[in-house]
């Protein structure tokens, strides 16, 4: 590579990162968390801990859920669907989309009894933020699609810049070197070590946003017909025989049941698979007769594979944790790259915008981690029956994130990183204690609660190490 080309690619890499870096960081961080969205929701609804995984769904519970849906339909409530118990979420849910997340009552899969869980968006908040940034639709999706374009350019320019040193970079991390050198090593190491994951997740992300990233212009487009509110026409017969039939034919447990004006679509996703291949068994909702859907074509199969690779909904725990590590590496890659930029500018005494960028780095990045941990704290500390408690949880997250960013502008430079990282460490290390005091009894029996506590404590420890490491360097 010629020095001129190298300089051009460096400029592209640097400026793309400066424009989109913080959004990319937020997208990667929340995307990593949303790999365990169902588990986070269960942690945030400790009332559901009494239902242990692998409890079979009874016909009585299914019929009870249908009765609730029929009552809702009579009251004119918007359409809903059923989410059946699975290994990750042992509850029977009636879900409605509220514009941001799927919300609705949770039922005991044994008898259909309503479980009085606290009102929260739980892990679904991170999932929704990951692709909308919690902005009004479709602006959030537009911004995420634009950021994904930037990210694809960032990754490709980064690969081209480091191509000649790809193998040595796998084995280089000089923690005791000068700050910029050490940060660059960390940036390149996390980039190269999980490079296939970064490429795959960016490409599949761009594909999922394809409608927005690559819009189609049609010069003879007809005006859209006025929106019609679709009514369910819920079946009046028993649903359980159809569920058993689907399970018998597909060999997999049923995951979702959707209702349209004419059909009932019963989805049974194959567990431990990369592809979300979800062609449903379809039944007429008046007669209950099976309706043969057209077989999926090759593009549909490819779409299901790309969606499955990105969302990891059907993956087993090992692959899911591997994806989590990949997401973590991507988050650290972006963070270390952004911090490297300001550290290098300071080291070379080019002080034009560096102090402001440095403060924004500290406030935005450590602020998001701190606010996410505080989201879990708020969930447990707000009284159970507080009005609009889920909105209060989310508001608290954004207020704390914004406050940390503002705080970074008021802090002396020597403690610019130490203070927000110390707050993050306190929040993370305190979560196990909080869970012990406010979580389900016999906490030690629930591996899910212990896992979330352990990850939060590890985040706290990492933040503490970061605070100590950054202190003499700022």
Q: What is the full DSSP assignment across 324-342?
A: HHHHHHHHHHHHHHHHHHH
Should residue 215 be labelled a site residue for other proteins when binding is judged by CB under 8 A?
A: yes
Strands 290-291 and 281-284: antiparallel
Other CB atoms closer than 10 Å to residue 199's CB: what's the count?
Answer: 14
Number of residues in contact with other proteins under rule CB under 8 A: 29
Using the rule CB under 8 A, which residue among 95, 197, 203, 324 binds other proteins?
A: 203
- Contact region with other proteins (CB under 8 A), list: 4-12, 237-245, 308-316, 351-359: 4-12
Should residue 213 be labelled a site residue for other proteins when binding is judged by CB under 8 A?
A: yes
Least distance CB 202 / other proteins (angstroms): 8
Supply 213's token pair.
């990233």
Should residue 152 be labelled a site residue for other proteins when binding is judged by CB under 8 A?
A: yes
CB 9 within 8 A of CB 161: yes
Using the rule CB under 8 A, which residue among 76, 136, 171, 218 binds other proteins?
A: 218
Q: Which is nearer to other proteins, 203 or 469 (CB)?
A: 203
Should residue 163 be labelled a site residue for other proteins when binding is judged by CB under 8 A?
A: no
Give burial (CB, 10 Å; 0-12/13-18/19+) of 304: buried
Should residue 197 be labelled a site residue for other proteins when binding is judged by CB under 8 A?
A: no
- Contact region with other proteins (CB under 8 A), list: 172-180, 206-214, 272-280, 348-356: 206-214
Should residue 214 be labelled a site residue for other proteins when binding is judged by CB under 8 A?
A: yes
Using the rule CB under 8 A, which residue among 60, 137, 164, 211 binds other proteins?
A: 211
Name residues whose C-beta falls within 8 Å of residue 100's C-beta, 6 or more positions apart in sequence. 121, 125, 128, 132, 134
Residue 228, helix vs strand vs coil: coil
Measured CA to CA, the distance from residue 120 to residue 132 in angstroms comes to 18
Q: Which is nearer to other proteins, 333 or 407 (CB)?
A: 333
Question: Residue ranges of the alpha helices (H) in 209-239?
Answer: 210-213
Other CB atoms closer than 10 Å to residue 335's CB: what's the count?
Answer: 26
Should residue 207 be labelled a site residue for other proteins when binding is judged by CB under 8 A?
A: yes
Using the rule CB under 8 A, which residue among 116, 302, 325, 433 binds other proteins?
A: 302
Should residue 469 be labelled a site residue for other proteins when binding is judged by CB under 8 A?
A: no
Measured CA to CA, the distance from residue 303 to residue 347 in angstroms comes to 47
Q: Which of 404, 307, 329 is nearest to 365 (CA)?
A: 404
Using the rule CB under 8 A, which residue among 5, 261, 399, 461 binds other proteins?
A: 5
- Contact region with other proteins (CB under 8 A), list: 30-38, 57-65, 100-108, 294-302: 294-302
Q: What is the full DSSP assignment across 80-130?
A: -EEE---SS--SEEEEEE-SSSEE--EE-TTT-PEE------TTHHHHHHH
Q: Which residues bind other proteins (CB under 8 A)?
A: 5, 8-9, 11-12, 149, 152-153, 155-157, 160, 202-203, 206-207, 210-211, 213-219, 299-300, 302-303
């Amino acid at each position: 590579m010629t020095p001129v080309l190298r300089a051009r690619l460096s400029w592209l890499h640097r400026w793309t990162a400066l424009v989109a870096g913080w959004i990319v960081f937020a997208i990667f961080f929340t995307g990593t968390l949303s790999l365990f969205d169902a588990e986070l929701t269960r942690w945030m609804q400790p009332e559901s801990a009494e239902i242990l995984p692998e409890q079979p769904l009874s016909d009585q519970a299914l019929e009870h859920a249908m009765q609730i849906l029929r009552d809702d339909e009579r009251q004119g409530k918007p359409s809903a669907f059923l989410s059946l118990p699975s290994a990750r979420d042992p509850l029977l849910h009636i879900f409605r989309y509220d514009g941001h997340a799927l919300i609705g009552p949770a039922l005991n899969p044994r008898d259909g009894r309503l479980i009085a869980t606290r009102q929260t968006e739980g892990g679904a908040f991170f999932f929704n933020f990951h692709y909308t940034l919690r902005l009004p639709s479709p602006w959030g999706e537009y911004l995420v699609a634009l950021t994904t374009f930037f990210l694809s350019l960032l990754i490709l320019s980064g690969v081209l810049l480091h191509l000649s040193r790809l193998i040595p970079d796998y084995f280089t991390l000089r923690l005791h070197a000068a700050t910029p050198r050490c940060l660059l090593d960390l940036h390149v190491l996390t980039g190269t070590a999980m490079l296939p994951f970064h490429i795959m997740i960016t490409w599949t992300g761009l594909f999922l946003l394809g409608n927005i990233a690559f819009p189609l212009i049609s010069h003879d487009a007809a005006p859209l017909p006025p929106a019609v509110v679709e009514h369910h026409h819920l079946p009046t017969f028993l649903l359980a025989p159809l569920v058993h039939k689907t399970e018998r034919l597909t060999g997999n447990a049923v995951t979702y049941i959707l209702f349209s004006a004419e059909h009932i679509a019963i989805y049974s996703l194959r567990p431990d698979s990369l592809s979300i291949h979800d062609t449903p068994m379809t039944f007429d909702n008046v007669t209950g007769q099976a309706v043969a859907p057209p077989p999926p074509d090759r593009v549909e199969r490819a779409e299901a594979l790309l969606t499955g690779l990105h969302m990891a909904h059907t993956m087993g725990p090992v692959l899911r944790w591997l994806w989590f590590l990949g997401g973590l590496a991507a988050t650290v890659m972006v963070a270390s790259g952004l911090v490297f930029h300001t550290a290098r500018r300071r080291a070379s005494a080019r002080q034009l915008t560096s102090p402001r960028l440095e403060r924004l780095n500290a406030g935005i990045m450590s602020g998001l981690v701190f606010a996410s941990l505080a989201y879990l704290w708020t969930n447990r500390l707000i009284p159970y029956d507080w009005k609009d408690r889920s909105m209060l949880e989310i508001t608290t997250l954004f207020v704390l994130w914004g406050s940390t960013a503002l705080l970074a502008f008021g802090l002396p430079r020597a403690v610019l990183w130490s203070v927000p990282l110390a707050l993050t460490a306190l929040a993370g290390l305190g979560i196990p204690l909080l869970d012990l005091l406010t979580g389900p009894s016999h906490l030690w029996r629930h591996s899910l609660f212990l896992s979330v506590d352990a990850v939060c404590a590890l985040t706290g420890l990492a933040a503490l190490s970061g605070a100590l490491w950054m202190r003499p360097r700022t």
